[in-house]
């Protein structure tokens, strides 16, 4: 009898493999439906997603003649797993973030983390490519981490960490620097802009792109959400990854660039043809995420528009009004067309007042959460966990890259 029971279990396992593999081409819901139908048909087969790991689905087949003697079958790479992309984004801790940073990046990140494996890195080693006050830098690092979390980044869904706390970044950065060419680094627009008119320039400003490439490539990144100003650096990252793969070993994932459309480029309130910047010397030009209500109202009311008094989106001829429309639309979710209709035959006064209220409604709850976090142990615990998780992932990729380049040694077996 035991022989026949064992044979039946084996046959059932084979039947499961034949039946389940086609179902894996569909969704997990389709897979569950399959087993429910089998149950109704009298076969004692059921499925359980036992562990929520990203790369494994575990199924059990239970013999009707045994109470608890499951056959363990491991099936990998179901469709649900394949669709999860790895996303990396880094922000420098070089000052208080602006509304443009939130609407153009951080708000987008909150949505991305729902269905993707996201790494959000505070790139403090990039910050020191220009002179920094050490105490202010540390304050900025902590503040940026708190703003990430206050904006809705969930440490249960995403990995938030500080670049300098994961040593693999600088190690791989040096390795990628060795396959970078001086000419291509000197052609980077940001290097030209930051070096212009200066007698002395740090060499780290020139070698910034290979370190940025290392940040991205360490985590098998599929997608990098960036603004237009970083697109050139991402192209170099792709080139370095392809160059390494061709020269040594095919280990790096070639990342894709993603530029969000709505709110991707919030402009200066005083010079609406240039991007809103946290380093703008004109304090009226930028709304900062920690500005109070009075400051926000004052800045928006003094925002540059024109003399027409018509609320209409026209970037070329009405850049100031178009910028305010983009801000309003990004804060409320209303379309530009809806807002144009809403303020038809109305002046800029009402439009600016409502825009200010929309911004305040977005930033006020973020500020409340920020002040809860900024001096808390909770913030440190989250960053510690993020660094540990990032270290585990980065060390694996670094080991592969070192092996591919021939670095280190191979230990001899005794």
Q: What is the 3-state secondary structure (H, E, C) of 66-84?
A: CCCCCEEEEEECCHHHHCC
Residue whose C-alpha is closest to residue 155's, from 97, 211, 109 = 109
Annotated ligand binding at 229? The verdict is yes
Q: Is the pLDDT of residue 260 over 70?
A: no
The more confident residue out of 29 and 325 is 325
Indicate whether 17 pLDDT > 80: no
Q: Is 413 annotated as a binding residue?
A: no
What is d(CA 361, CA 348) in angstroms, rounded to the nearest whole number? 20
Rounded distance between C-alpha atoms, residue 225 and residue 269, angstroms: 24
pLDDT of residue 398: 98
How many CA atoms within 13 Å lie on the side-chain side of 236? Answer: 28
Instruction: Considering only residues 83 and 238, tell me which one the structure prediction assigns the higher pLDDT.
Output: 238
CA distances, 193 to each of 119, 143, 208 (Å)? 28, 27, 14
For the chain, the average pLDDT equals 83
277 assigned ligand-binding residue: yes
Instruction: Look at residues 225, 216, 227 and name the one whose alpha carbon lies nearest to residue 254.
Output: 216
The model's confidence at residue 55, banded by pLDDT at 50, 70 and 90, is very low
> Residues 273, 250: contact at Cβ < 8 Å?
no
Within 196-291, where are the H helices?
A: 203-206, 208-217, 231-247
pLDDT computed for residue 72 by the predictor: 39
194 is catalytic: yes
Q: Is the pLDDT at 133 greater than 80, yes or no?
A: yes
278 annotated among ligand-binding-site residues: yes
Asked whether residue 94 is marked as a ligand-binding residue, the answer is yes
| Gap between the terminal Cα atoms of the chain | 50
Cα three-residue angle 98-104-109, rounded to 5 degrees = 110
263: annotated binding-site residue?
no
Dist CA 320 CA 301 (whole Å): 12
- Which SS3 state, helix, strand or coil, does residue 227 take? coil
pLDDT score at 406: 96
Q: Where residue 43 falls among pLDDT bands split at 50, 70, 90?
A: very low
More confident residue, 32 or 360: 360
As a whole number, mean pLDDT of residues 42-63 equals 37
Identify the pLDDT of residue 48. 32
Residues contacting residue 145 through CB under 8 Å, at least 6 positions apart: 122, 160, 162, 379, 382, 383
Whole-angstrom distance, CA of residue 261 vs CA of residue 256: 16
CA-only gyration radius of the chain, Å: 27
Per the residue annotation, which of 85, 157, 278, 315 is the catalytic one?
278
| Residue 16: predicted pLDDT | 53
Q: Give the integer Cα–Cα distance in Å for 102 and 157.
A: 19
pLDDT of residue 74: 41
Q: Which of 85-99, 237-251, 361-375 has the lowest mean pLDDT?
A: 85-99
Tokens of residue 16, six digits: 């499961």
Give me the phi and psi of 320, to 5 degrees please. -65, -50
Average pLDDT (284-295) is 96
- Range with the lowest mean pLDDT among 33-42, 75-84, 222-231, 309-318? 33-42
Task: Tell me: is residue 100 an annotated ligand-binding position.
Answer: yes
49 and 108 Cβ atoms separated by less than 8 Å: no
DSSP state of 413: P
Give Cα separations from 212 to 219, 234, 242 (angstroms).
12, 9, 15
* pLDDT classification of 1: cutoffs 50, 70, 90: low
52 labelled ligand-binding: no
* Separate counts of helices (H) and strands (E) for the chain: 18, 8
Out of 79, 85, 157, 194, the active site residue is 194
- 2-6, 88-92, 226-230: range with highest mean pLDDT: 88-92
- Could you confirm whether 275 is annotated as catalytic? yes
Query: Minimal CA–CA distance to 164: which of 188, 195, 184, 134?
Result: 134
- Opening angle at CA 255, ends 114 and 208, nearest 5: 110
Distance CA(26)–CA(322), nearest Å, equals 44
Give the whole-number percent of the chain exceeding pLDDT 70. 79
Determine whether the annotation assigns residue 128 to a binding site.
no
**Of residues 289 and 23, which shows the higher confidence score?**
289
| pLDDT single digits (tens) 304-354 | 999 899 999 999 999 999 999 999 999 999 999 999 999 998 989 999 999
Lowest mean pLDDT among 7-16, 177-186, 267-276: 7-16
- DSSP label at residue 283: G
What are the tokens at 186?
Answer: 């000197």
- pLDDT > 90? residue 31: no
- Whether residue 227 is annotated as binding a ligand: the answer is yes
Cβ atoms within 10 A of the Cβ of 311, count?
Answer: 25
Q: What is the largest CA-CA distance in the chain?
A: 94
**How far apart, in whole angstroms, are the C-alpha atoms of residue 273 and residue 2?**
80
- Whether 284 sits among the annotated catalytic residues: the reply is no
Q: With a cut of 70, say whether residue 56 has pLDDT above it.
A: no
Q: Which of 109-123, 179-193, 368-382, 397-411 has the lowest mean pLDDT?
A: 179-193
Between strands 86-91 and 117-122, the pairing is parallel
Q: Are 169 and 128 in contact (CB under 8 A)?
A: no
Q: Which residue has the higher pLDDT, 279 or 100?
A: 100
Is residue 266 annotated as involved in ligand binding? Answer: yes
pLDDT of residue 3: 54
* Confidence band for 195, pLDDT divided at 50, 70 and 90: confident
């Amino acid at each position: 009898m035991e022989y026949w029971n064992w044979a039946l279990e084996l046959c059932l396992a084979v039947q499961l493999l034949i039946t389940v593999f086609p179902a894996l081409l569909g969704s997990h819901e389709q897979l569950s439906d399959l087993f429910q139908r089998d149950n109704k048909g009298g076969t004692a087969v059921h499925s359980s997603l036992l562990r929520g790991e990203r790369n494994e689905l575990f199924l059990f087949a239970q013999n009707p003649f045994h109470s608890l003697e499951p056959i363990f079958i491991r099936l990998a790479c179901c469709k649900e797993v394949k669709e999860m992309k790895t996303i990396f984004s880094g922000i420098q801790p070089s000052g208080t973030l602006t509304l443009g940073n939130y609407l153009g990046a951080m708000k987008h990140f909150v949505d991305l983390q729902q269905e993707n494996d996201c790494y959000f890195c505070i790139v403090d080693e990039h910050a020191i490519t220009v002179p920094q006050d050490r105490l202010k830098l540390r304050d900025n690092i902590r503040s940026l981490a708190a703003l990430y979390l206050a904006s809705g980044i969930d440490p249960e869904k995403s990995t938030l960490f500080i670049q300098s706390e994961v040593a693999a970044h600088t190690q791989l950065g040096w390795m990628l620097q060795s396959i970078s060419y001086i000419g291509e680094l000197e052609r980077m627009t940001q290097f030209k802009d930051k070096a212009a008119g200066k007698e002395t320039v740090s060499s780290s400003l020139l070698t910034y792109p290979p370190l940025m490439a290392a940040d991205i490539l360490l985590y098998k990144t599929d997608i990098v959400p960036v603004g237009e100003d970083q697109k050139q650096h991402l192209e170099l990252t792709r080139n370095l990854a392809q160059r390494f793969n061709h020269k040594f070993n095919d280990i790096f994932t070639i990342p894709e660039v993603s530029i969000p459309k709505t709110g991707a480029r919030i402009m200066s309130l005083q010079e609406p043809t240039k991007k809103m910047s946290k380093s703008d010397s004109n304090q009226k030009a930028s709304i900062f995420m920690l500005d109070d209500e009075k400051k926000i109202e004052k800045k928006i009311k003094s925002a540059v528009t024109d003399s027409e008094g018509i609320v209409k989106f026209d970037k070329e001829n009405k850049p100031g009004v178009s910028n305010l429309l983009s801000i309003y639309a990004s804060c409320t979710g209303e379309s530009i067309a809806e807002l144009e209709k809403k303020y038809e035959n109305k002046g800029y006064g009402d439009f600016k007042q409502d825009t200010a209220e929309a911004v305040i409604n977005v930033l006020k709850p973020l500020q409340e959460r920020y002040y809860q976090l900024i001096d808390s142990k909770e913030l440190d615990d989250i960053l510690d966990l993020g660094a540990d998780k990032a270290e585990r992932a980065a060390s694996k990729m670094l080991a592969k890259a070192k092996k591919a380049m021939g670095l280190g040694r191979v230990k001899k077996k005794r």
